[in-house]
Amino acid sequence: MLVTAESCTGGLIAGACTDLSGSSNWFERGFVSYSNTAKNELLGVETALLKQHGAVSEEVARAMAAGALARSRAQVAVAVTGVAGPTGGTPDKPVGLVWFGFALPGQVLTEKMNFPGDRAAVRAATVTHALQRLNELLP
């Protein structure tokens, strides 16, 4: 069973999963944790971690994935946090930067991607990459 923890995609990964007939056999639930407060309350991401590293970081993506897994009945989690734009980018965290967290049995993997384009393009690329990479990681 799969659980999603989404920030910059706002539920688009869960939506893509549940667009498929029969997804109730493998999709357990999705968390949309757009704000830092939601990341803390829904997923247990520590406030200190958010303050120290920022929402768009490897550490937060890892914590989101682990928290989603711990707060669900799923065995696999995917988490995304990024800067979809057009505002919010900085030199260190530009528009298009997305951190992914993949929680699998016994491990949490992270990955950083930089996607080109406008907000819609960044969000669409994030959904596609999350699902393709998850498919590669699963046995």
117: left (phi over 0), alpha (psi -120 to 50) or beta: left
pLDDT in tens, 28-54: 999 999 999 999 999 999 999 999 999
How would you class 82 by CB atoms within 10 Å of its CB: exposed for 0-12, middle for 13-18, buried for 19 or more? buried
Provide Rg for the chain, Cα atoms. 14
Instruction: Give residue 96's domain range.
Output: 2-137
15: pLDDT strictly greater than 90: yes
Mean of pLDDT over the chain: 97
pLDDT at 10 exceeding the cut of 90: yes
pLDDT of residue 108 exceeding 90, the answer is: yes
Total number of domains constituting the chain: 1
Q: What is the CATH classification number for the domain harbouring 22?
A: 3.90.950.20
Give, in order, the Cα–Cα distances in Å from 16 to each of 24, 48, 65.
13, 32, 18
Instruction: Inform me whether the pLDDT recorded for 139 exceeds 90.
Output: no
Confidence bin at 115 (pLDDT 50/70/90): very high
